[in-house]
Structure 1
Amino acid sequence: MTSTPPQTAQNAQTAQKALSADRRRWFALAIVMTAAFMDLVDVTIVNIAIPSIQKDTGATFSQIQWITAGYALAFAAGLITGGRLGDIHGRKKLFLIGIAGFTLASALCGFAANPEMLVASRILQGAMAALMVPQVLSIVHATFPAEERGKVFGLFGAIVGLGAVSGPLLGALLTQWNIAGLEWRPIFLINLPVGVVGLLLGRKFISESKAPRALRLDVVGVVLVVVGLLMLLYPLTRGRELGWPVWGFLCMAGSILVFAGLVAYERQKARRDGSPLIELELFKVKSFAAGIAVQATFGIALGIFFLVWTMYMQIGLGWSALRAGTTGIPFSVSVSVAAAMSVQKLVPRFGRKVLQTGALLMMTGLLIYIWEADRYGMGIASWQMALPLVVMGLGMGLIVAPLTDAVLADVPKEHSGSASGLINTVQQMGNALGLGLVSVVFFGSISDRLAPSATGPAFAHAFMNSLWWVAGVLGAIFLLMFALPKRAPAGAEAASVADEAGDVGGPAGTDEANEPVLTG
């Protein structure tokens, strides 16, 4: 009887473990995508419930702005830190902490006794999302080989579209149904069962991954990022409410000095111990640097549009939450369809032109919307909004999924957490800037003393004024996209070979340094 050679048995065991891991990673993908979906839904679901929240709690327009902007501020301020903590302590661990905290914060939002508690709970929710969300792309980037990432990012784009369509509709239904007399509160409480299930399944199916080198948290970098963002965004968000005081402008100008100090410190930190919070070397990757600029500007456009659109339909036109939610379905379906097609079929053939076409389509949709809002006035119908919303949705879908792939395509795996944190940070920073600009472009054109009969026309005028701003921002995005590579990344197979050859970064001469550390 011949025994199996130890080496052969070991190889068979290794192959079996690899096969098992291959099956598990798709379960892990479903779990992290569900978490991303939950975060996306939570943002859009709040927008549709704003009038109900305002009516039930007596919240002022400033507090309403903080319910949305407070989340974005905490999210933006913590994302880079969340990504780096995942690199250091394990992306699975931080993902599970994040989803547990997000679920708890959702419960606090749902049981908020007053607007102040709701704002504070939303800030906590944003902070927990900052721990959870960066791990999503990090886990995908570290777990899936290069040749499969296009398909995965295509799925991610479809999830973005599905989140966009589900959020407003689900929020409208939950608000309209007034379950158990809770009015708007179920929009937050619905996160509880989803979060608990995600936490339990995540512990079982997600494999742990870390940066291969021993990294330490850059505390000074964290402080500088948070201080810089707050100095920029807090006075912008509250400026109109406070009468645009001088200290606000000085604070925003001072944030530039803080960010300059951050860059200088991070360079010194990288030279000293190789463990900075922000990997400045990433900005030498052309696709990453250009994509980051587009992400930030795109966030500004979305931050303005979605908030003013909701207030226009529900407060300006006097529509119910359900009517407003269903009106947005053509937009969201179009986003989902275009996002699913763009990465797999269009970008490999047409490259950057796909993203630029998306920006032009969004601008075209906005101009049609402005024309219709002006022509039909207060008598505009939901079906008349369908055309501009479909055109805008197709344009957004052509941008969201390919842009993520373009930004991360050439990023070394060991920096995937930091890169993911940066991507989400700049988009959320742009989103918070957009929400802050709502004070200028929307409320700035509405008098503080309006007769009830003048509220609708004033909101309609402010909406059209805001859309001109959004169209201008999209024009800037179109120009920024010329800095993106003309063609799609060289190809999944080439990237995979580069990964295996150790050409994607990390300490020289060590193959292990170029692969994520996977356990469990």
Structure 2
Amino acid sequence: MTPLDLRTTPRIHHPRRWAALVPALLACYMDLLDATIVTVALPAFEEDLGAGPATLQWTSAGYTLAFAVLLITGGRVGDIYGRKRTFVTGMAVFLLTSVLCGLARNPEMLVVSRVLQGAAAAMMIPQVLSFIQVEFPSPERPRALAMYGISLALGGMTGPVLGGLLIQADIAGLGWRAVFLINLPVGAAALLGALRLMPESRSGTAPKLDLVGVLLVTAALVAVMYPLVQGHETGWPLWTFLSFVAVMPILLFFSWHQRFRERSGGTPLIPARMSRHRSLRAGLPLALIFFAGTGHTFVFSLYLQQGLGYSSWRTGLTLFPSSLGIIAGSMLSIRLAPRLGRRVVSIAALVKIAGVVGVIYPIHVLGPALTPWALVPGAIVLGTGMAMVSATLVNIVLSKVPVQDAGAASGLMTTALQVGSAISIAVLGTVFFGSLTGTGDHRQAIEACLWVCVALFFASFVMSFLLPPGGVPATAADDRPPSAKDGGIRRSIPR
């Protein structure tokens, strides 16, 4: 290995970068696959493991929450210890935890394994975008990023359908366990490909990890999530409300710690200067509120299987049309964002409301006679609105942030999306199971959840007007060597 400091040397792009991109994209595919595939397996967890409502919520939300909390730290670990090394380690742990999920003998083992699986994903996924940024020159980068987006879309699209198929087929008597063990062949191929093809890179000025900051953020999120998920089963005792109250002091102490760490010359988890960017001040709470309404797939899968008696395979097929809307929404946002800017987010929020109402109406009118075909229009509209926001909001925010803060802002936005998704499962799960306990009516429970989604999407529509105006500039990042101020990138080139 010959070390190359790109702060003083012209950037040399790895000759096998396109081949090395394949295992990186397989990791992205598996991440989204694992985030969505469990939705159709929830009743199977309940039947086989005796999992209660809280376990079902933690199985989905635990993965997303661990991923969100450790996402920024995962990027920092790659900067310090090497992005290839961190990616390979994360992938190996991801495969190990997939096996643990598949071998789970009780609800507790399943939940803990899912949380560890999300943590492993947080180590490997940030390295993918870093790899694309470092190894691909400006003319090639849009194509590489498009392939990255496609891999995520494919994971989201195939998750419910593949999960339903695996459970229905009951391969080797594995049942629901196959939805986790399917990671082994895909992950093994990605791991071997990364070891063989991926170059190593790291930051020229390695920032120190802010472990205290990570612990404080984790404590704040757990103080929100734990009572939300467990409160219903325990009858909402006093400690649940005290936990909610504790969130604000924890966040205030976190804010003080970040300023103290920055003044002391350390690297804070969230630089204080981030609060000066208007686009972030508006975009972060908007992302949290909007994605807090996106857990409808979690409760909808329960409604289809528990309320209507759908099989896992039929449930997966019923959820699939929203993926067609995601494709349409992605294409629309590419055309509209440069001209309409924040108005795309406003329109998308209204589209999401229309999609939710388009699902509520046939559920309410048809009741037990509901068919998958009656849900197709609403599902497609829901997917369209989701993609329009996902593809546009981050671009709007980052286009208004100075280049030197783009990396930190990108990590914050991605974290906000994931935290919102995790909170959504907790909130909608609480509404669903709470309504079900009171009435035993699955239709009333799902309608209550969907009206909560309508309220959250309307709040997102109102908040979208706080985003900075103007279109999203379609500019590629320059290909200059990073300056010393940027931190540089130190890379080892295989000889």
TM-score normalized by the length of structure 2: 0.90
1:33 aligns with 2:20: no
CA distance in 2, matches of 1:73, 1:39: 13
1:49 aligns with 2:41: yes
Partner of 1:335: 326
Instruction: Give the deviation of 1:155 after TM superposition.
Output: 3.9
Instruction: Give the deviation of 1:295 after TM superposition.
Output: 2.3
CA distance in 1, matches of 2:480, 2:191: 33
What is the RMSD of the two structures over their aligned residues, measured on CA atoms? 2.6
1:37 and 1:50, CA in 2 relative to 1: closer, same or farther beyond 3 A?
same
Partner of 1:75: 67
Contact kept in structure 2, 1:339 and 1:398, CA below 8 Å: yes
Contact kept in structure 1, 2:342 and 2:396, CA below 8 Å: no
Contact kept in structure 2, 1:233 and 1:436, CA below 8 Å: yes
Partner of 2:84: 92
1:519 aligns with 2:488: no
1:319 aligns with 2:302: no
Q: Report 1:34-433 matches (<5 A).
A: 34-144=26-136, 151-303=143-295, 305-343=296-334, 345-409=335-399, 418-433=408-423
CA distance in 2, matches of 1:407, 1:204: 36
Write the letter of the residue equivalent to 2:301.
T
1:325 and 1:406, CA in 2 relative to 1: closer, same or farther beyond 3 A?
same
Instruction: Give the deviation of 1:306 after TM superposition.
Output: 1.3
Contact kept in structure 2, 1:347 and 1:488, CA below 8 Å: yes
CA distance in 1, matches of 2:304, 2:23: 34
1:279 and 1:91, CA in 2 relative to 1: closer, same or farther beyond 3 A?
farther
Instruction: Give the deviation of 1:86 after TM superposition.
Output: 2.2
Share of identical aligned residues, percent?
Answer: 40
Partner of 2:3: none
CA distance in 1, matches of 2:432, 2:244: 21
Write the letter of the residue equivalent to 1:480.
M
Instruction: Give the deviation of 1:146 after TM superposition.
Output: 6.0
Write the letter of the residue equivalent to 2:314.
R
Write the letter of the residue equivalent to 1:367.
V
String of CA shifts for 1:440-472, please: whole Å, max 9, x gaps: 321121126x7xxxx5xx111111111110011
Partner of 2:445: 462
**Residues paired across the two proteins, number:** 485
Write the letter of the residue equivalent to 2:203.
A
Write the letter of the residue equivalent to 1:519.
S
Contact kept in structure 1, 2:337 and 2:472, CA below 8 Å: no
Q: Secondary structure at the residue paired with 2:269?
A: coil
1:245 and 1:149, CA in 2 relative to 1: closer, same or farther beyond 3 A?
farther
Contact kept in structure 1, 2:101 and 2:180, CA below 8 Å: yes
Q: Secondary structure at the residue paired with 1:431?
A: helix
Contact kept in structure 2, 1:160 and 1:336, CA below 8 Å: no
Contact kept in structure 2, 1:157 and 1:339, CA below 8 Å: no
Partner of 1:484: 467
Instruction: Give the deviation of 1:308 after TM superposition.
Output: 0.8
CA distance in 2, matches of 1:432, 1:396: 16
1:477 and 1:139, CA in 2 relative to 1: closer, same or farther beyond 3 A?
farther
1:416 and 1:200, CA in 2 relative to 1: closer, same or farther beyond 3 A?
farther
String of CA shifts for 1:273-308, please: whole Å, max 9, x gaps: 1411222323333334433223222321112x1111
CA distance in 1, matches of 2:76, 2:366: 51
CA distance in 1, matches of 2:467, 2:78: 28
Instruction: Give the deviation of 1:432 after TM superposition.
Output: 2.0
String of CA shifts for 1:238-278, please: whole Å, max 9, x gaps: 11111111112111211211111111111121121141122
Higher Rg: 1
Q: Secondary structure at the residue paired with 1:359?
A: helix
CA distance in 2, matches of 1:188, 1:75: 17
CA distance in 1, matches of 2:281, 2:24: 26
CA distance in 2, matches of 1:488, 1:209: 34
CA distance in 1, matches of 2:481, 2:465: 31
CA distance in 2, matches of 1:297, 1:519: 42
CA distance in 2, matches of 1:62, 1:371: 29
Contact kept in structure 2, 1:409 and 1:489, CA below 8 Å: yes
Q: Secondary structure at the residue paired with 1:301?
A: coil
CA distance in 2, matches of 1:98, 1:415: 26
Instruction: Give the deviation of 1:500 after TM superposition.
Output: 4.5
1:147 and 1:483, CA in 2 relative to 1: closer, same or farther beyond 3 A?
farther
1:330 and 1:470, CA in 2 relative to 1: closer, same or farther beyond 3 A?
same
Write the letter of the residue equivalent to 1:481.
S
CA distance in 1, matches of 2:52, 2:166: 23
Contact kept in structure 2, 1:161 and 1:339, CA below 8 Å: no
Instruction: Give the deviation of 1:44 after TM superposition.
Output: 0.9
Deviates more, 1:409-418 or 1:57-66: 409-418
Contact kept in structure 2, 1:413 and 1:516, CA below 8 Å: no
Unaligned runs of 5+ in 1: 1-13, 503-509
Write the letter of the residue equivalent to 2:451.
W
Write the letter of the residue equivalent to 1:392.
L
TM-score normalized by the length of structure 1: 0.86
1:412 and 1:500, CA in 2 relative to 1: closer, same or farther beyond 3 A?
farther
